[in-house]
Amino acid sequence: MRGNEETVQVNDAAADTTAGVLRDLEPSVGRLLDRHLGVAREWFPHQYVPWSGARDFDGPLDGTAWDPRQSALPQAVQDALLVNLLTEDNLPSYHFEIATRFGRDGAWGTWVHRWTAEEDRHACVMRAYVHARRAMDPVALEELRMRQVGAGYRSDLPTVLHALAYVTVQELATRQAHRNVGVMCGDPVGEQLMARIAADENLHMLFYRDLYADALRMAPDAALTALTDVICGFQMPGTTIPGFRARALRVAAAGIFDLDVHSEHVVRPLLRALGVMSLPGLGPAGEQARQRLGQHLEWLRAQASRARELYERMNASGGPGRSRTRTQEVTA
């Protein structure tokens, strides 16, 4: 999984420039792109949608209007699905972000376009599933999509290493979010679909994670500082969705995605896989970043513990109910 040794002849000074990072990581991008294309399995979104249970809606087809009683999904699962779907919907902004940062030429460009093509399936197939199952209000969903995509998304991350660190964490978090929604949706068709999407996210995460491992070997101080900055300030891109805080609270209380998941199934496995705590060759800046990261992990664990107590009190007083059935495996 590591880059060949000749790609690691770069110092931290070169990593200060976007052009330097992109140029020096390009051989790794080519290698990981080839690996990705070799393992990514072709799949067809239309095969995952339960069309036989679908009905026409009101409007031009004069069908049946949506009613909240038609949804079989628990409220917290609806909240999580909505946030995940609207997050996927903002793909045009994400494409712009990575195309302008990583470029559209050579191996970087091939990856950017391939990744975009794969991601484009996710919102399409999730929306088709939601409509076929009448899982949530289709009018509210469309109004929110227009608002979300209309507002766009920009990360404002300072360097290309920060952008790479962000997508590494984000792909892993997204994998967990989709997978846990599937496990808790109570619908085998939905679970199969979410697992299929999560498998895509897993391969995206592996691409970025192993690319970042090369960045850490090439420019340990700059790469570890960027990774630490991103992890300490990490937010999913869906935080601008209207009502996000209330939805996120219900999603967390139900155990679908909370600080425990973020800490134990996203951040810690990623840092372990990258060997951050035993990374050689760090200078003062890298050592300072590693120390900051250690403090953040402790803070995260304490926050997760406090949040867990809050959710238990919420659930004991008739809240959404916390499930322990979510996926526990750690593959990062």
Residues forming contacts to Fe ion in the complex (CB under 5 A) are 119, 122, 171, 201, 204
Q: Which is nearer to Fe ion, 204 or 322 (CB)?
A: 204
What size, in residues, is the chain? 332
Q: How far is CA 128 from the centre of its chain?
A: 21
Q: Are 76 and 255 in contact (CB under 8 A)?
A: no
Which C-beta is closer to Fe ion: that of 114 or that of 292?
114
Q: How far is the CB of 122 from Fe ion (least distance, A)?
A: 4
Rounded to the nearest whole angstrom, what is the least distance from the CB of residue 200 to Fe ion in the complex? Answer: 6
Q: Which CB atom, from 122 or from 265, has the smaller least distance to Fe ion?
A: 122
Token output for 168: 């590494």
Spatial distance between the Cα atoms of 189 and 48, rounded to a whole number of angstroms: 7
Q: How far is the CB of 291 from Fe ion (least distance, A)?
A: 31
For the bound state, the minimum distance from the C-beta of residue 160 to Fe ion, rounded and expressed in Å, comes to 18
86 vs 300 by CB, closer to Fe ion: 86
DSSP code string of 88-122:
HHTHHHHHHHHHHHH-SSHHHHHHHHHHHHHHHHH
Minimum CB–partner distance for residue 23 and Fe ion (Å):
25
Tell me which amino acid residue 95 is. H
Nearest one of 186, 182, 178, 192 to 74, comparing CA atoms: 186
C-alpha 216/C-alpha 280 separation (Å) is 10
Smallest distance from Fe ion to CB 197, Å: 6
Q: In 44-54, which positions are buried (b, 16+ CB within 10 angstroms) versus exposed (e)?
A: ebeebbeeeee
Which of 85, 267 has the CB closer to Fe ion?
A: 85
The answer to whether residues 133 and 50 touch, using CB atoms and an 8 Å cutoff, is yes
Comparing CB distances to Fe ion, the nearer of 124 and 307 is: 124
Tell me the CA distances in angstroms from 266 to 51, 144, 239, one per residue in order: 34, 28, 18
Task: State the Cα–Cα distance between residues 78 and 130, nearest whole angstrom.
Answer: 9
Of 70 and 240, which CB lies nearer to Fe ion in the complex structure? 240
CB of 55 to Fe ion, least distance (A): 28
